[in-house]
Structure 1
Amino acid sequence: MSKTQTDDLTPLDVPESPEDKFREFLEIRGEKLTDPRRTLVRHIYSSHKHFDADELVRDLHDAGHAISRSTVYRTLRLLVEAGLLRELRLTNRSAYEHDYGYPAHDHLHCTVCNRVVEFRNEEILKLRDEVSRAHGFRATGHRFLITGVCSKCDRSHSPRRRLDLI
């Protein structure tokens, strides 16, 4: 059985910066890389973490950037469309993460604390490719999200009702 890897998720070397890639995407659409959009891309790519739109708005405000909530939501949608961000639809929210410049991977999501864990597993990739070939399909990617309860939340949860024990 293949080992699940979390240490192989270091950023990849890419030929263009996220900002340049986004500028190119916007130019093709006849749009401009405005100062608020540039600030968003730089802020998002200054660190790697999963975030939702509200967290991003709060982080930008805390960093002294006055960017409207509507600009954040519109720009997030454009960044996903441009292939720079990936949207993860979690149980009770949508989270975003770097897609451009980051290796393919999968996720575990704790439905209690909302923690997201990234991992790579070669067996999942092999299975994806085998299933695709069997159906005459060429896979270009996949999304695999396991939902459940992390060990920390599982330990802190004490059953109060008989149904919780089942």
Structure 2
Amino acid sequence: WFCVILLCSDIVHMASYAPLFVNDNDRKWTPDAIVFNSWQQYGTPSYWMQTFFGESSGAVIHPVRLNSSYSGSLAASAITWRDNEDIFLRIKIVNFGPNTVNLTLSATGLEAGVDTSRSAVTVLTSNYSLDENSFDDPLKVKPVKSGLASAAEEMQAMLVPYSFTSYDLALDEYGELVADM
């Protein structure tokens, strides 16, 4: 249920998703973003991906290196972006494989330290890779955001199977940096 737009969305300032809406009474396939009927609606996992990527459009892209025995089941990108007055290094990783992956995330070249009080991790996953949202369970697959007390220039990360994980490291300032994984 992951969107293919994952890596290129970092450089796209505006994007559209098609098909955006589908009436539940005439649903022929599942990549739609929003499902509705006469009285209710819900966002699909694709909707949540598009919403998440829309939050940080117009960002600065940074090089990423993946060094893992699971590199074949991972895709990653790193950007810096502003949210009001705050600056974040956002490291996004998709684990599209069936194994939990443990990594060391290392950002080099930061001009300022990482603020753990404003840093967060967001995970979009489900116990079953083909899970979908429904009218009965509209939030079965949704992003879950939590604080990141271990946020630092170098930190351990765990990626659950079939997941999208985003690490938002709050920075005071940033310079040229490289994200190693």
TM over 0.5: no
Report the TM-score, using the length of structure 1 for normalisation. 0.25
Report the TM-score, using the length of structure 2 for normalisation. 0.24
Structure with greater helix share of residues? 1
Structure with greater strand share of residues? 2
Larger Rg: 1
